[in-house]
Amino acid sequence: MLDERVVGMSVLKITGGTPLNGHVKAAGAKNAMTKLLVASLLSDKRCTFYNVPNIGDVEVTVSLCEEIGMEVKWDRQAGTMEVITKELKTSYVPQRFSGSNRIPILMIGALLGRTDQDIIVPTAGGCPIGQRPVDFHIQALEQLGAVIEYRGMKREGAYFAHAHNGLKGTVITLPYPSVGATENTILAGVTARGMTIIKNAAIEPEIVELILFLQKLGAIITIDVDRTIRIQGTRRFYEVEHTVIPDRIEAASWGMAAISSKGRVFVEGAQHLNMITFLNKLREVGGGFDIRSNGIEFFYDGPLQGGLHLETDVHPGFMTDWQQPFVVLLTQATGTSVVHETVYENRFGYTDTLREMGADVTLFRQCLGGKQCRFASQSFCHSVIVKGATPLVGKEICIPDLRAGFAYIMAALIASDTSTISGLPFIERGYENFVGKLGNLGADVMLVEEEKNVRTERVPVKSSLHLLSPVLSQSE
């Protein structure tokens, strides 16, 4: 058995044409676990998490929380984590976390009820998929009584926030059901005096997960069918044990990889309820799936048929993070399909590489959908027409962001020859042990360590790439 560690700046070589077959387990959800860690800062009680994903974004969030006083015991192999923040060492999140991920801005909501000191957090980061302004966050927190100011610092700016007079519940209507703004407002509302009501809130499964955790922690919180969340403020907290939901993005990604490669993969942990919209679109193009009690089996069920119209949207719509690999799937479907991105305005940058691989994808600035979105009459290319089926060829690829990265891996798996993929830490941010899982499913993959004297190693199926990732890799 080769050494399981992956060191240096490695690239992944994928030789396409081999169907993926076998079993893979979806790890805990990235977009849930990172927020749960921040939520645990509300109290000084012990919180124990299970099904914790061993990925880059969790590493970054742990480092950030430890910086301000959290004690963490993380058993990566067992997928368990025990945390407690008995007291805050500081309310200043250092500038080195600037641009690391979207988590620092959520520190404001979590810490406003925990300290009277100024809370200082760096500007928000993320993958280059479009603007993600924090105006909605700030407006909501200010309505609760927070004082927030943006100040320029050495290289980048930071937000200074405090609530010296405490937070007071109120009615907040979000202009857009932003996931981050909803989360930040929920976190602040837990310790605000009285009732906080959030209207037009995001209701993604990861937000429901946050609400379930906070109820265990001591919050009195409800969610209504009209996107209204109600929170009765509290300062009494309890110890919590919580199992993180499986990652619906990872589950769908492996499902699409299985079908596009003409294989069959059972994704353990894939949850039907959280993937209804995705499964409908998959069935429309002719993809096969079989829902079982402990997961979903995805399989190639004959030639894929295009003619699909797809619009991304907030939950329960088609998730924007499913869009990139689905476009790759559509390149293998006969006919013409339309995809309209309504969540992020710059999320089709990855299609340039797909075209170089042979895909027939055309970008449009217009809203090619049933409704106009926020980007109508603007200059953003936020719609595409995909014509298939087209054969793809391998090439050298540099991954620009997390979800585009998996789309490139899918494209390489179905290409006619070998692709060389760099920028692997982006993938490691959200996909646990993805190289090992690829190998276990039968993919022809090899990690190559790029140094002055190049050394090639075939990676065993249980390999992990977490040592590859810089502690402050960009985050979505």
Place of tokens 């799936």: 289
Contact 475, 435 (CB under 8 A): no
Q: Binding site annotation covers 31?
A: yes
Nearest by Cα to 229 from 214, 206, 211: 211
Q: Binding site annotation covers 168?
A: no
Q: How many CB atoms lie within 10 A of CB 296?
A: 23
As annotated, the active-site residues are 127
DSSP lists the bridge partners of residue 264 as 21, 299
Q: Binding site annotation covers 417?
A: no
Q: Binding site annotation covers 96?
A: no
| Distance in angstroms (rounded) separating the CA atoms of residues 106 and 125 | 12
Angstrom distances, CA of residue 304 to CA of 21, 39, 47, 175, 334: 18, 43, 46, 39, 6
Q: Binding site annotation covers 321?
A: yes
| Distance in angstroms (rounded) separating the CA atoms of residues 159 and 150 | 5
Give the residue ranges of the annotated binding site for phosphoenolpyruvate. 30-31
- Residue ranges for the known binding site for UDP-N-acetyl-alpha-D-glucosamine are 102, 321, 343
